Amino acid sequence: MKKLGLGILGSGKGSNCRAILEHISAGKLPAEARLIVSDVFEAGILDIAREFRVPNVYLPPGKFRTRLEPNVEMELVRLLREAEVELVVLAGFMRVLKEPMLAAFPRRIINIHPSLLPKFPGVESWKQALEAGEKIAGCSVHYVDAGIDSGEIIAQRNVPVLPGDTPESLHARIQIAERALYPEIIAQFCEA
């Protein structure tokens, strides 16, 4: 089967990226990570890229805090196209994507978010779930649109909120679910 070309974007430690690369290495995901990009120079995701020998690049984001500077975003499109990326996978990428990326990869950019969207978009959503007294939390994989965690939902996985949970314990349980769900959903794109 032809392998689906992935571009993985992240700003943090990269545990979802590692899970995806491990699934590929184990032959459980017929995909090829063609480029890993981070807007954070010292992000763990770049170490993971080097560990798995995936081409990687640090992309200085420019002067804005929550998005890329337009010329930088155009450069990102160029890099992903040059690497023949077919599906863009956001794995802890902390910037909102705008028109250059959305137009270049229509319905080909996905994200994973640690809540049962549409509940609790934005940051520290596990904390929001705990504070709201939810009994069930979880994670969502969704298409990326111009909003924050607002695109069409592709799949979700529930985890229980247990008595005595702290934000940390709940977050850890959600992340375990994320690392299983994301490779599974990417595999569906490989079949499409």
Which CB sits closer to ligand GRF, 51 or 84?
A: 51
- Cβ at position 134, least distance to ligand GRF in Å: 16
Q: Which amino acid is at 62?
A: G
- Cβ at position 94, least distance to ligand GRF in Å: 8
CB 20 within 8 Å of CB 33: yes
Active site residues: 113
Which residue minimizes CB distance to ligand GRF? 92
**Separation of alpha carbons 61 and 9, rounded Å:** 12
Residue listed under structure tokens 């040059």: 82
Burial class (CB in 10 A: 0-12, 13-18, 19+), 115: buried
CB 60 within 8 Å of CB 72: yes
- Cβ at position 12, least distance to ligand GRF in Å: 4
CB 183 within 8 Å of CB 23: yes
- Residues lying near ligand GRF in the complex (CB under 6 A) are found at 10, 12-17, 91-92, 112-114, 175, 178
Which CB sits closer to ligand GRF, 46 or 72?
A: 46
Which CB sits closer to ligand GRF, 15 or 56?
A: 15
- Cβ at position 101, least distance to ligand GRF in Å: 16
Burial 118-148 (b: 16+ CB within 10 A, else e): eebbeeebbbbbbeeebeebbbbbbbbbeee
